Amino acid sequence: MAKSPGFWPQLTENIRFFFIKAWSTLRLWIKQQPKRRLWLWGLGVPVLTGTAAVGVLVLSVYLGFFGPLPTYAELRNVRNSQASEVYAEDGALLGKYYIENRTNVTVNEVSDFVLQALIATEDARFFEHSGVDLRALGRVFVKSLLFKDDAAGGGSTLSQQLAKNLFPRRQYAWLGMPINKLREMFTARRLEKVYTKEELLALYLNTVPFGEGAFGIKVAAFRYFGKDPAELTLEEAATLVGMLKATTYYNPRTHPEAAMQRRNTVLLQMSRYGNLDTALVDSLQSLPLALDFRAEGHNQGTATYFREHLRQELDDILAKHLKPDGTPYNLYRDGLKIYTTIDSRLQRYAENAVVQQMPRIQARFNYDWRNKSAWSASTLARAVSASRRYQQAKKRGLKQSAIDAEFAQARRMTIFDWDGGAVDTLLSPLDSIKHYLTLLNTGLLSVDPGEGVVRAWVGGIDHRFIQYDHVKARRPVGSVFKPIVYAAALQSGMMPCEYTADSLRTYPQFKNWQPRNATGKYGGAYSMAGALSKSVNTVAVELALRAGIPQVCKLARQMGIAHPIPNEPAIALGAVDADLREMVTVYATFANRGYR
């Protein structure tokens, strides 16, 4: 008895039979139709099918099958990340904290030239459409695609571009472009219902990037021309608007010729739409770019070390406060305004003093150490093992011999240089570490004793290369501690006119300690003023012992030294580790007649 065929083979056979039958029927029907009707079917079916497919795609995007569209509520609450700005007491901008370097402005704070250039170049019918410009889309199709006219402009309106900037495109395989375009069209229509045209212009100008980490027209105007956006001239406005087509290629700093050509195209567009007298175009196009480029960054600008110290304080301060809506503040996104006591003029003087004086001191140091190494083998080894490159090599499991070979291999790098601040060179990592070990550094802190506020803060020679803040570095303070000793002696009842013998003494109670003068000379006696002015060690020790070491320690703490102070007579000679903030506080107390 034969077995009946299985289900799937039988189904396959039935489907095959159905298609053969259908094809035979279709062929018979085609032979019976007039040719004119066949032509109509041949054109109509693809058109209807294509139209239906487009309709289905549009409806699918609108209904959110490819991800939900932004709601009206979300669009009303659009907030760009804004940089928090740090200001000096005199109103000068010291620097910023940001993820995206942006500061929002209103349309009233932007030059009309910028608005005119933007609309003429990017969306000439901006005030006539409602987010999508069908006429512009048709123009782009005919001129750009069929006639290859690059001057035809783009089909996306400013509202569509804004939608693209606010809500980045997604990946949808081969349908990515049409789906993203449709999403931007729907979002643009909704934006037009939520915002006025002027508000859309402001939101657009605050959102767009201008290259080199600059976001928004305010930052761009300052970055490239050192101005507020309201102060931009016509040709400057055209330069910035021209960058929007391709921020890297049309960057006026790195590609001046391309930027000028693009600027001139923008000027022509402005003339075409009546924003610029045709007679002025030629003269404006002949003008140079005239940049006033201002580099910005966490490691660049004014008071870099102070700003980093302030950032750490702000993190603690903001952690204790919430925004009105109950969410925590974000220093890098919320556009906070931070006002400090820094005097920008004094800060510049302080930084210039470091720039001018440190190379001279370094030159003397290099001369004195010309025939010997400025570091020991153990110091070099510690510096190598503490470097990031060494730590990464260890994590990769490299043996010491391989690490040594890696550190000996020369490579391109940028290092600090006293002449230009930075120099590109070919150097091995080991030689780079040796280079930095030979560099002298410094810290400078200036305060107003009467107000008790900081006016200038320089933590090192260049924050780009050396982030360690020497204002906060603890070092043996040496003889600058001696005024505290003399103050303690006066507090104990000693008279300033008393004379103390300058003699070499041995103190058995302190393990036969024998403090010596730097000059190696002894003899005679000194008043307090005389001994302090000549920094006589033997007198300082004797006064400290007479006043009492615990009393000297107590006074030092009261005057501003917060770190532990040894209860030893050697503190009279400065055997105390303190940072610059502590010692400046001590001396400010003297300047303030004892008030801290």
pLDDT in tens, 64-117: 777 788 888 888 888 888 999 999 999 999 999 998 899 999 999 999 999 999
Q: Is the pLDDT of residue 2 over 50?
A: no
| Residue 55, pLDDT score | 73
| Residue 201, pLDDT score | 93
- For 389, other C-beta atoms within 10 Å of its C-beta total 15
Least confident interval from 32-46, 194-208, 415-429: 32-46
Q: Give the E-state strand segments of 52-125 in sequence order.
A: 84-87, 93-97, 101-102
| Residue 76, pLDDT score | 86
Residue 149, SS3? coil
| Residue 154, pLDDT score | 56
Dihedral sign from CA coordinates of 404, 410, 411, 417: positive
Listed in order, the ranges of the chain carrying CATH 3.40.710.10 are 474-591
CA 158 to chain centre: 28
Dihedral sign from CA coordinates of 201, 205, 209, 210: positive
Pairing of strands 337-339, 84-87: parallel
Task: Choose the CATH number for 474-591 among 3.40.710.10, 3.30.1490.20, 3.40.50.10490, 3.90.1200.10.
Answer: 3.40.710.10
Listed in order, the ranges of the chain carrying CATH 1.10.3810.10 are 106-285
Q: Give the E-state strand segments of 407-527 in sequence order.
A: 411-415, 423-427, 444-448, 453-458, 475-476, 500-501, 525-526
**May I ask the CATH class of domain 106-285?**
mainly alpha
279 against 437, higher pLDDT? 437
Categorize the per-residue pLDDT at 167 as very low, low, confident or very high, splitting at 50, 70 and 90: confident
Return the closest-CA partner of residue 207 out of 75, 80, 70, 76: 80
Q: Are 415 and 375 in contact (CB under 8 A)?
A: no
Q: What integer best gives the mean pLDDT of the chain?
A: 88
Q: Are 309 and 459 in contact (CB under 8 A)?
A: yes
The pLDDT tens digits for 204-245 are: 999 999 988 899 999 999 999 999 999 999 999 999 999 999
Mean pLDDT of 572-595: 94
Q: Which helix (H) or strand (E) holds 317?
A: helix 304-318
First to last CA, the chain: 114
Token pair of 523, please? 């003899």
Q: Is the pLDDT of residue 166 over 70?
A: yes
Q: Is the pLDDT of residue 140 over 80?
A: no
- Spatial separation of the C-alpha atoms in residues 89 and 423, rounded to whole Å: 34
Mean pLDDT of 447-476: 94
CA dist 257 → 120, 261, 269 (Å) = 22, 6, 19
- Spatial separation of the C-alpha atoms in residues 15 and 186, rounded to whole Å: 43
Q: Are 197 and 159 in contact (CB under 8 A)?
A: no
| Residue 33, pLDDT score | 63
- For 588, other C-beta atoms within 10 Å of its C-beta total 20
Torsion of CA 561, 565, 567, 570, to 10 degrees: -90
- Spatial separation of the C-alpha atoms in residues 558 and 573, rounded to whole Å: 19
Token pair of 458, please? 């320089």
In sequence order, the β-bridge partners of residue 475 are: 578
- Spatial separation of the C-alpha atoms in residues 346 and 460, rounded to whole Å: 16
Q: Are 162 and 195 in contact (CB under 8 A)?
A: no
| Residue 274, pLDDT score | 87
| Residue 148, pLDDT score | 47
Q: Is the pLDDT of residue 342 over 80?
A: yes
- For 30, other C-beta atoms within 10 Å of its C-beta total 11
Q: Are 116 and 106 in contact (CB under 8 A)?
A: no
Q: Give the E-state strand segments of 462-565 in sequence order.
A: 475-476, 500-501, 525-526
Pairing of strands 475-476, 214-215: unpaired
Q: Is the pLDDT of residue 583 over 90?
A: yes
